[in-house]
Structure formats: C-alpha cells, structure tokens
Amino acid sequence: MDKGKKETVLELSNVSFSYGENLVLDDATFKVERGDFAGMIGPNGAGKTTLVKLIFGLLALDRGSIRLFGTDVGKFKEWQRIGYVPQKATSFDQNFPATVFEVASMGRFPKAGLMRQLSREDYMAVEKALGVVGMLELRNSRIGDLSGGQQQRVFIARALAAEPELLILDEPTVGVDAEAQHSFYSLLRQLNRELGMTLLLISHDVGMVAKNVNKLVCVNIKVTFHDISKGINKADLSCAYPAGMELVPHHHDRAVK
C-alpha cells in the first residue's frame, strides 16, 4: 500500500437488499478508512440496522459486495478486529447479577474462549479498557446500580477489551440523559483522536453526529456519502430525511451553513 494512502477498513460496493418484495437498501456504496470517525444517520425503517447486519454477515446480500480490511465479508474470519456496542435499552437486563469488571471481561471471550479462564494478559486488557472509559474505580460495582451513561461506558469497555481496530456503535445514547450524552461523545472523540480508533456511529442525533464525525453516511433505502472533514451544510444533514422536514440545530464546532 502507498505510504500516503489510508487503509480501507470497511467498503460497501453497490449493495442492495430486500426482505421479500420490500426493498430496504438500494445500491449502497461507501467506505470507511483507518482513523475515520464516520456517522450514519437516517429515519426509522431507513435500513440502518439492516446495513449493520449485512456488515456482520448476518444477512446475505442480494447484490454487491462488502469487504472488511480488504476481505470479502463471506470469507472474513477475524471478527475480534471489530467491536460492537448495541443500544443499551435492547441489549441489557438491569437485574443482571454481574459486576462492571465481569461485564467488561466478556469482551475477551473471542480471544480467550468461553471455557478458558482469563489470563493475566486478559485481565490487563480489561483493566486498560475500563481505565480508558473512566470506569476502573467502579470495577466491583454491580452493573445494574450504575447510571445509564456509566453503563454505556462499561459496554464500550467490553468492546474495547477485545482490542478492536474498528468500533461500530448502534444508537448508543438511546435512553441516556443529555449530560451523559455529551460526556459520551467526548469519550468517542478521545478514542478516535487520541487512540486512533476507527469509529462508525449509527445515530438519530443529527446535530451531535455532525459535530463529531469526518464522514457522513445518509441512509434512506438509497445511501448518500459525504466527506465533511472541511465542513458541512444543511443539505448534507437532510439528505436522508423527507423533503420539508425541519432539522433542529445544535451547537457545533463546525458551522452548519
């Protein structure tokens, strides 16, 4: 690879998918390069969740191709290179009797195996992940006793414990209060800018996505891709939404023109 060329971590080419006769994605094409902080926006039912399932090989493509780290998704085996943080509300039982450390250590299972005891290296990786998200001091607390924002940090630590190169987050701030959301996005910026982690964030929060990402994927059956590293305009933000829909502005580091 040329020294000046970034590695492509995720690439979709002309991807289409239908549930029966219901077209969900049509000719989706975009790529995420190493070091990107990419955002994916779109209304409910637009195909975002389906697209994530296709990326993980959980659904078979109707047409097109998906490549992970240069390998076709159907042949890709190195899933430990990809971390995943789901929506908290749909993935977590508040009464689950586990500590913060135990939840985060689940991220080592792809490397250690379900039946093998964690090694010293595994423990160090889990502690490092909890330290990165600011939850190491609460390692022995019961996960259900934490606030929504703290729980999401633990779920990120669980993904980070596997030491992934690409982290995919699916609506991670659902059910989290505004203060915790700002803290959460600050953490994502740290992961991307200071640790160099490649991120793909799926979210309904158009304003916060626009404030943080350098690439924007708009999904509404059709997929529109924008490199917004040098700025963003209202047309970029509204491309995935119905005409006439008013987008609520947020405070941004980069002006929306």
- The span from the CA of 236 to the CA of 240, in Å, is 9
Helices (H), 57-114: 88-91, 100-105, 109-112
Q: How confident is the model at residue 28 (pLDDT cuts 50, 70, 90)?
A: very high
CA nearest neighbour of 212 among 251, 246, 248, 180:
251
Q: State mean pLDDT over 42-71.
A: 92
| HSE (side-chain half, CA atoms, 13 Å) at 237 | 25
Q: Which domain holds residue 119?
A: 8-238
pLDDT of residue 115: 57
Tally of domains in the chain = 1
Where is mean pLDDT largest: 69-78, 104-113, 187-196?
69-78
Structure tokens at 214: 């350098």
CATH number, domain with residue 56? 3.40.50.300
Check: CB of residue 91 under 8 Å from CB of residue 174.
no
In a domain, 93, yes or no: yes
In a domain, 248, yes or no: no
Quote the percentage of the chain above a pLDDT of 70.
Answer: 81
In a domain, 246, yes or no: no
Quote the percentage of the chain above a pLDDT of 90.
Answer: 48
CA nearest neighbour of 171 among 82, 39, 59:
39
pLDDT of residue 172: 81
In a domain, 255, yes or no: no
Q: Higher-confidence residue: 170 or 204?
A: 170
In a domain, 2, yes or no: no
Check: CB of residue 191 under 8 Å from CB of residue 163.
no
Phi/psi of residue 44, each to 5°?
Answer: -60, 140
pTM (predicted TM-score): 0.84
Q: Higher-confidence residue: 95 or 8?
A: 8
Check: CB of residue 136 under 8 Å from CB of residue 161.
no
Q: State mean pLDDT over 152-160.
A: 91
In a domain, 256, yes or no: no
State the burial class of residue 24 (Cβ atoms within 10 Å of its Cβ: 0-12, 13-18, 19+): buried
